[in-house]
Structure 1
């Protein structure tokens, strides 16, 4: 009898060992499968983006020895202007919006930081269940009440069975194909793109403020030139009136001189209005209400646009914020395509919980109420593939648009620099010729007045000389504005104005 009992016990022990060994093997196989699948990688097979080839130089006359673009302080060299830019960097409305776009992108990065890590949460839940009398659970629970192996605490309440749980719950999607990693990459690329978008706003803002500021300096001189011409015209008008009283001139000469004077006075009022508009343009860029702009007084002969070396075209790829923004937008689009393709493959999800669970609140904190569960499974899309296909098509279209935008930005940047270089060269040549014309016409005013005094010239010739001189001076002023606008535009086109912030 004892030998039989020992035989039975030995058999039970062998079965238990075998069962434990099989269980261990199952866990080993499961772990090996997870490691194997985790090592799998989806073939990228992304669209082949051809590199954008740009010329080695902008033109035959450009300087290709300079490798670094001048900073704002060195390029503008005007304390009053730098103070305005400093205020704009703190208060500009567009810049504030750009900063919030960065925060939005930062939130996206923060969201994806732990996307490939297990999720862990604390849980406290309470529920109730009632099984039907003719269900497996209902019959089994009813039959359990008659078992002699249960004490009163272990007997199920009837007919409603409560369920209390306090503990931890976790879920984890194993990144088998790199889908989640690609989402992290896309979020990081968009964050960097938003930072370059902010730099683009800074570059545009700095160039607008500088252009409006130098326009003010030129307008101040334009106002002075008009005032000087008005004094000359008033003097000429007095001479004509005196000659009329002496019988050597007529009313027509007085009227022509008066009309010329009124025209100059109206130009003076127009110049004052332009000054107000430029001041308020700067005030808006600085994020404040209209007020006078503090600026230095510069003599007309000292208003000379700053010099700027262009360097080589490849430097645009590092200096231009819009190119860098388009580049990282393209990187994000590539990562999105990879994520969309990985969505077609099975995903491995693991779920687990650990804590205290009981159907009686009185025994919830009893050590015997400790429970845990672990579950995992592979899930492959079957019926929703049309949605996945649509998502992939959309991402591929987004990627193509991003690549086209990247190429367009590079070509546009080169074209902008090329146009500004030609504009600077042509306006400098025209400015030199127009300056000589202004000098000649200024002398003609003095000559016509002297000849008019001695009767060797008519009042019409005096009016014509004054009119031509003033018109040439105004054209010279507009050329100077174009010169400054071209140089500042070239500085912006080269990507200047955002690296050396105050």
Structure 2
């Protein structure tokens, strides 16, 4: 067995020589980054470099107890998040499989035969009973002179990093979806309350017009107009209830649960978000946003694959060695006199494959170029997202304030119209018009409050917050 040991030592010595690593070294592409984010009205938003909303935990951003409980449940049970985690575990094993090509493959085996023949055949085959056996140990190795297997392992590890960032992106998106769905539910709750209150007021108005019509003070047309107002509101009621139940089902899916109800009663859920939220520096976004990190990991994998394709141009050496012992009797199987040792080496150099190797190399470079562009596009998209979110924070606040003024004015106009109608100074058409305007303004105010609340979600998500 000493010759076999020497062969293995030779293989180990050659490992030290396999240090060449072809292919380009990764460098991060140059990407444009503004010194500050664009806010509303082309104003640039500046902030302390060490302070950003995106660095905060989601529980510090969304402080409603109901919403916090929903997010916790979703992070524990959501199936998309579990799928993303499973993909990470899959890629861990893929790295392990890919890396195994760098090492010698060693196998051990043995055979044994034993038979007792009839006396009539005993002399034909020599000894009786017959017993033979052997034991062997073999190794095969392809030295990684040009870094082919190391580059493959590097690409697999970069893909693992990409999957890890993809999992974080799913987590961030899940927090965003739960918060968005919750605020949408609270808006629908507001619309439901407004509609119910409007129905009660319009019932009273219908009763009044019916009494006036019976007394001869108002025409029947006023009754019909009052009925129109009432039925407009009552027809909206089941549609809002339908949307609430369907949104609850959507929330339950995010929670990893079967359809059912969820709690959404917090009266302060649609309160305006804080003003002058810290955003940090644009350069920080490259390290915080999961989609940017995922895109860069994919770019690194593509860069490593260029090295894999380049290594195919060079010769590949394969070495195999085997040693074993055997005998014709159980007692002498391990007798050194029955040892067998051999080694084999092969060297292959591609000469002509119809342009396949060069085509693969050029393909890998073009794929890397595509990943560079995709990485740069992802960064620009991230800057756009933050800017859009900042613009929305400012503009939605103004829109909500103006909508509140509109509701106040519509309420007073409706009040005055009813007084004038009861005093006989105007027709019911004025009541119908002002009441319809008020109802629409109140619904629009609820929508404006929801849109403003969602700007916090959008800004937090665009800054890369939620996965920490």
Q: Is the TM-score greater than 0.5? A: yes
The correspondence for 2:372, drawn from 388, 391, 403, is 403
Kindly state the Cα deviation for residue 367 of structure 1 after the two structures are TM-superposed. 2.8
Kindly state the Cα deviation for residue 67 of structure 1 after the two structures are TM-superposed. 2.8
Q: What is aligned with 2:45?
A: 62
Q: What is aligned with 2:391?
A: 422
Q: Does 1:189 align with 2:161?
A: no
**How many corresponding residue pairs?**
439
Q: Does 1:108 align with 2:103?
A: no
Q: Is the 8 A contact 1:173 1:350 kept in 2?
A: yes
Partner Cα separation in structure 2 for residue 90 and residue 299 of structure 1:
26
The correspondence for 1:38, drawn from 18, 39, 43, is 18
Partner Cα separation in structure 1 for residue 216 and residue 462 of structure 2:
63
Q: Is the 8 A contact 1:221 1:299 kept in 2?
A: no
Q: Does 1:303 align with 2:239?
A: no
Q: Is the 8 A contact 1:75 1:306 kept in 2?
A: no
5 Å-filtered alignment, 1:38-437, equals 38-42=18-22, 44-45=23-24, 50-59=29-38, 60-65=43-48, 67-68=51-52, 69-124=55-110, 165-298=134-267, 303-305=271-273, 308-357=277-326, 363-384=332-353, 386-437=355-406
Partner Cα separation in structure 2 for residue 440 and residue 236 of structure 1:
20
Structure 1 residues 35, 173: closer, same or farther in 2, change over 3 A?
A: closer
Q: Describe the superposition over 1:186-215 as per-residue Cα deviations: whole angstroms up to 9, x where unpaired.
A: 111111110100111111111111101111
Q: Describe the superposition over 1:414-472 as per-residue Cα deviations: whole angstroms up to 9, x where unpaired.
A: 11111222122222111111110101111122221122111122211111111111111
Secondary structure of 1:170's partner?
strand
Secondary structure of 1:115's partner?
helix
Structure 1 residues 126, 391: closer, same or farther in 2, change over 3 A?
A: farther
Q: What is aligned with 1:474?
A: 443
Secondary structure of 1:174's partner?
coil
Q: Name the TM-score, length of structure 1 as normaliser.
A: 0.81
Q: Is the 8 A contact 1:344 1:385 kept in 2?
A: no
Q: Is the 8 A contact 1:46 1:337 kept in 2?
A: no
Structure 1 residues 41, 275: closer, same or farther in 2, change over 3 A?
A: closer
Kindly state the Cα deviation for residue 39 of structure 1 after the two structures are TM-superposed. 4.3
User: Structure 2: any 5+ residue segments left out of the alignment?
Assistant: 1-6, 114-125
Secondary structure of 1:199's partner?
helix
Structure 1 residues 299, 58: closer, same or farther in 2, change over 3 A?
A: closer
Q: What is aligned with 1:135?
A: none
User: Structure 1: any 5+ residue segments left out of the alignment?
Assistant: 1-26, 128-156
Partner Cα separation in structure 1 for residue 139 and residue 12 of structure 2:
21
Q: Name the TM-score, length of structure 2 as normaliser.
A: 0.86
Q: Describe the superposition over 1:252-297 as per-residue Cα deviations: whole angstroms up to 9, x where unpaired.
A: 1110111011101112222111111111110111121111102333
Q: Is the 8 A contact 2:400 2:449 kept in 1?
A: yes
Question: Please, which moves more after superposition, 110-119 or 459-468?
Answer: 110-119
Q: Describe the superposition over 1:305-343 as per-residue Cα deviations: whole angstroms up to 9, x where unpaired.
A: 355432221121122111100000100110111011012
- The alignment yields a C-alpha RMSD, in angstroms, of 2.9
Greater length-normalized contact order (CA 8 Å, ≥ 6 residues apart): 2
Q: Is the 8 A contact 1:216 1:275 kept in 2?
A: yes
Question: Please, which moves more after superposition, 260-269 or 366-375?
Answer: 366-375
5 Å-filtered alignment, 1:22-37, equals 34=14, 37=17
Structure 1 residues 462, 32: closer, same or farther in 2, change over 3 A?
A: closer
Structure 1 or 2, whichever has the larger Rg, is: 1
Q: Describe the superposition over 1:225-255 as per-residue Cα deviations: whole angstroms up to 9, x where unpaired.
A: 1111111111111111121122111111110
Kindly state the Cα deviation for residue 125 of structure 1 after the two structures are TM-superposed. 5.5
Q: Describe the superposition over 1:352-403 as per-residue Cα deviations: whole angstroms up to 9, x where unpaired.
A: 1122145888853323112322333433222447332232233223212221
Q: What is aligned with 1:131?
A: none
Question: Please, which moves more after superposition, 308-317 or 333-342?
Answer: 308-317
Structure 1 residues 297, 487: closer, same or farther in 2, change over 3 A?
A: closer
Q: Is the 8 A contact 2:134 2:325 kept in 1?
A: yes
